[in-house]
Amino acid sequence: MASTAQDPSAPLLRGDKKEEDRDEETEFSPFFGIEKGLVLQEARIFNSPQIDARKCQQVITKLLYLLCQGETFSKKEASEVFFSVTKLFQNKDSNLRRMVYLVIKDVCPSADEVIIITSSLMKDMNSKTDLYRANAIRVLCSILDSQLLGQIERYLKQGIVDKSPVVSSAVLVSAVHLLEGNSEIVKRWTNEIQEAQHNVHSMVQFHAVALLHALRANDRLAVSKLVSDLIKSSVRSPLAQCLLVRYVAQVIAESTAAPTGETRPFYDFLESCLRHKAEMVIFEAARAICNMRNVTLRELLPAVTVLQLFLSSSKPVLRFAAVRNINKVAQTNPGAVVNCNLDMEALISDSNRSIATLAITTLLKTSTESSVERLLKQMTSFMSDIPDEFKIVVVEAIRTLCLKFPQKYRALMNFLSNVLREDGGFDFKKAIVDSVLILIREIPEAKEPGLAHLCEFIEDCEFTYLSTQILHLLGLEGPKTKEPAKYIRYIYNRIILENATVRAAAVSSLAKYGALVPELRPRISILLQRALHDNDDEVRDRATLYLRELGGLNGSTPSQSDYIDLNWTLPNKNLETCLRQYLENGATQPFDLAIVPAAAAEKPRAETGKSKGASALANGPAPAAVKQEAEVTNHAAQLQAMPQFAMYGDLFKTCAAQQLTEEETEYSVLCIKHIFDGHVVFQFDCTNTVPEQVLEDVNVIVDLAEAEEFEEETLIPLPRMAYGAVGQCWAAFSKPAGALTTGRFVNTMRSRVKEIDPSTGEEEEEGYEDDYQLEDVEVAAADYIKAEAVSNFRNAWEAADAESEMTDDYGLGVKDSLQDAVEAVTAILGLKPCEGSDAVPPNARSHTVLLSGLLPGNVQVLVRMMFGIDMSRNVAMKLVVRSDGPETSEAIHQIIQNA
């Protein structure tokens, strides 16, 4: 069945052959070209008077394959297969009987069909053959309902303590599956399960321990008591011991952190497991200790010592497991694994490249400044022997090391440059380029060597994206260097030798040298004039524009204000819209950029991915966080420049824009809320989308009936709102300083509408008054919270006033997962997750999230949220808040209560 993982319609190809060798040595899957209709016809062999056991097994295998691939059978088809298979019970072939059990479980007979097969399965359940008994029990438990299960409960209880380990394990595993819908039945078997826990057979003991934990999974105290009892009972099975270690780790994670200097509960048991004779138990205990929260160096030392012994094991799986865990420890406690460096250096030449890669990345995290050159020398031959995905991991580790030891930037940059010249795919090359860009940004001394390496790379770069990225960087950083002229040759070569996309990027990069370096401007103009005859219109258009800006076409000398704008701020979509309207209206006058709205008219979208570290330099647009910070800075400067708002003080926060009109209506209005300590200012961005009218004296009238704690201070109207232009109306409201005042504001846009004659373009003189109802705007408590992380949450928590702490429990109802609950509550509070705590591990039953932020007046708020989910997916949350006082902490709780 190993071939079932591939496409059934494709031949089976050997993974160790190159593409050119596969044509001659192609193997075919036994399920190649399989069709449901043909298999159902073949299933008629089950009705034959003379049953061919081997052929029936082959047909059942095909049926199981189709079911595993997601093929669905209609009710009629499933019934026909089921009734045909039941006739095979007459055959005594043991292998065929095992296949029959499998197909009955997967076909899932309906309730009225189950009774037909029950008698045969009951007979097998009482058979003298253990194999028949075990499989019959598994099938019966999967197809019977609770009423029929009650009839065979006595047999199942006897099966738990049966002398045959196969039968006992079958009942215990079936009981684990029965817990989802028939937990009350399983709970009545507790005595038998506890007896099976002492079974001499390791697999039975393993299943018994797993079932005992599943019965108590929703009760933390019961789980803790079970763990204590199991520790005292000396579990002998290595598999069961591994389970026990995991349960102990879960109890430790859910328990309250012990005061400094005190031993964690059950830590002594984990440490004793490090001396177990079974390697799997030793490793499981070491892994549990390494994964403990806030683990100390004293607690880590025994586990790291054991893992260090595994590094020299003759078994590859032990070496891999050990170096993988040491790699994780090195991310948070690099000093704890320094003693393992010599052993890990020996693994660099390991035949298993996964082990070698983990060893290298760990060494890069734990190495000292003096050992960097020696480590790079060892890695030189290593890099050519590993695939790209491993190379990317190594490159990212080198980048981190360079930021850690900036004095070693030259050696590390040379290493990255040498690797960049080697063969590799796009992702690998992009990882190196991104790393160089980050080093250029973070280490000023590395700028010129980094730019030189990138210039050499683009000479032979085959990836358009990377070439344009580097050219953009050269245009930004090259003119600021001591010798900007040395980069021009590399950029101009791209205009001669590359495709149209790269040529256009090269033209833009050259133009920036002409704009920022006056002595190079004549030479740049000559080079740009050669691009006027390019066969691509985008290249020609850019060259024409930049020559015009540089004064190269008419020989004039432009003023500084006419130079190329290196920080283009106009949204492309707005520019495109205005250009289309300009062309549609006849284009009788020169196009004026002043009519292009500076604010985006589209709805704001939530960020869907993490910003890349290098994009600030390489991709033009800034990352999301930088872009948001820039927008806040622009809003603050704009508000300070308005005398009506200058006395409000520093702007604390600007909220995301809210659309107050539906799409494709005659007007588009966006509201942006600006939060000050004692005021809230509404900025209404208004757009007229009707060509046949113009609006004058535009004002937004705000009703404060549902916002009584606010007082209106200032309304600033928009004098004129022409077609396609964006203008602003303003409304300012005072509130108690420092208070998280909330309310709902009902808005109406009032204006004088003047119609425009389409034939003459003249507008009427009088016009008429018009009121246009807008959506309500709500100021919530979360609007006063600014997400801002702290570098060390634990220190900040301990430094906060303990008397301000407020705790409460909340039921969040049914959620699909803990991750959904974490994201929902985090979005409601608007705080910043700290230390990556917003990522919930897969299949976690509990999780703690750390959040921080600021309130007006730069009041710090710290939140710890403990989540738990039960078998029914009901989520409970414990919320603990610390701030400058109980009133502020209570306000945070009030946000959750009102959500």
Residue with more model confidence, 507 or 641: 507
Calculate the CA 20 to chain-centre distance.
38
Residues 246-258, mean pLDDT to the nearest whole number: 80
Report whether CATH 2.60.40.1480 matches the domain 641-779.
yes
Phi, psi of 608 (to 5 degrees): -110, -5
Whole-number pLDDT of residue 188: 87
pLDDT at 369: 73
pLDDT at residue 142, rounded to an integer: 80
Q: What are phi and psi of 878, to 5 degrees?
A: -110, 125
Domain ranges of the chain: 16-254, 367-444, 463-553, 641-779, 782-898
DSSP 257: P
Given the candidates 1.20.1250.20, 3.90.1150.10, 3.30.310.10, 3.40.50.2300, the CATH classification of the domain at 782-898 is 3.30.310.10
pLDDT at 559: 47
pLDDT band at 732 (very low <50, low <70, confident <90, very high): very high
**May I ask the CATH architecture of the domain 16-254?**
Alpha Horseshoe (1.25)
Report the DSSP pairing between strands 711-716 and 846-855.
unpaired
Task: Give first-to-last CA distance, the chain, whole Å.
Answer: 52
Residue 771 has pLDDT above 80, yes or no: yes
Q: Mean per-residue pLDDT for 357-372?
A: 79
* Phi and psi, residue 563, nearest 5°: -65, 165
pLDDT of residue 682: 92
**How does residue 610 score in pLDDT terms, banded at 50, 70 and 90?**
very low
**Pairing, β 693-706 against β 653-654:** unpaired
Q: What are phi and psi of 536, to 5 degrees?
A: -105, 130
Kindly list the distances between the CA atom of residue 239 and the CA atoms of 212, 268, 648, 814, in Å, as whole numbers in the listed order: 15, 20, 67, 34
Among the listed residues 667, 697, 704, the one whose alpha carbon sits nearest the alpha carbon of residue 685: 667
User: What digits encode the pLDDT tens for the residues 57-70?
Assistant: 888 888 888 888 88
Exposure class string for 629-656: b at 16+ Cβ within 10 A, else e: eeebeebeeebeeeeebeebeebbbbbe
For the segment 270-314, what is each residue's pLDDT rounded down to a tens digit?
A: 888 888 898 999 999 999 988 888 888 888 888 889 888 988 888
What is residue 430's DSSP assignment?
Answer: H
In three-state secondary structure terms, 246 is helix
pLDDT of res. 260: 55
Those residues with Cβ within 8 angstroms of residue 894's Cβ, 6 or more apart along the chain or in another chain: 781
Over 50: is that where the pLDDT of 102 sits? yes
Tell me if residue 697 falls in helix, strand or coil: strand
Averaged pLDDT, 505-517? 88
Task: Tell me what pLDDT residue 680 has.
Answer: 92
Whole-angstrom CA distances from 298 to 289, 295, 493 are 11, 8, 60
- How far is Cα 758 from Cα 33, in angstroms, rounded to an integer? 67
Backbone φ and ψ for 779, nearest 5 degrees, come out as -100, 110
Query: The tokens 């005992």 sit on which residue?
Result: 212
pLDDT band at 87 (very low <50, low <70, confident <90, very high): confident
Residues, the chain: 899
Q: How confident is the model at residue 79 (pLDDT cuts 50, 70, 90)?
A: confident
**CA separation for the pair 742, 707 (Å, rounded):** 7
How do beta strands 832-833 and 846-855 pair? antiparallel
Please tell me the distance from the alpha carbon of residue 40 to that of residue 79, in angstroms, as a whole number: 12
DSSP 90-123: G---HHHHHHHHHHHHHH---HHHHHHHHHHHHH
CA 876, distance to chain mean position in Å, is 24
DSSP bridge partners of 653: 675
pLDDT at 548 over 60: yes
pLDDT at residue number 550? 80
Which pLDDT score is estimated for 111? 63
CA–CA separation, 870 and 377 (whole Å): 53
pLDDT band at 608; cut points 50, 70, 90: very low
**pLDDT confidence of 629, banded at 50, 70, 90?**
low
pTM of the model: 0.53
Phi, psi of 493 (to 5 degrees): -60, -30
pLDDT level of residue 681 (50, 70, 90 thresholds): very high
Integer Cα distance of 782 and 784 in angstroms: 5
Contact between 506 and 471 under an 8 Å Cβ cutoff? The reply is yes
Q: What is the mean pLDDT of residues 582-610?
A: 61
Render pLDDT for 840-855 as a digit per residue (tens, 0 to 9): 887 778 888 999 988 8
259, pLDDT greater than 60: no
Largest CA distance in the chain: 105
Q: Which residue has the higher pLDDT, 560 or 573?
A: 573
* Domain formed by 463-553, architecture: Alpha Horseshoe (1.25)
| Residue with the two structure tokens 């069945």 | 1
- 704: CB partners within 8 A, 6+ apart: 710, 711, 712, 733, 743, 745
Of 658, 669, 673, 657, the C-alpha closest to 751 is 669
Q: Band of the pLDDT at 640, cuts 50, 70, 90?
A: confident
Q: What is the mean pLDDT of the chain?
A: 80
* Percent of the chain whose pLDDT exceeds 90: 3
Equal fold, 16-254 vs 463-553: yes
pLDDT digits (tens, 9 = 90+) for 460-475: 888 888 888 889 888 8
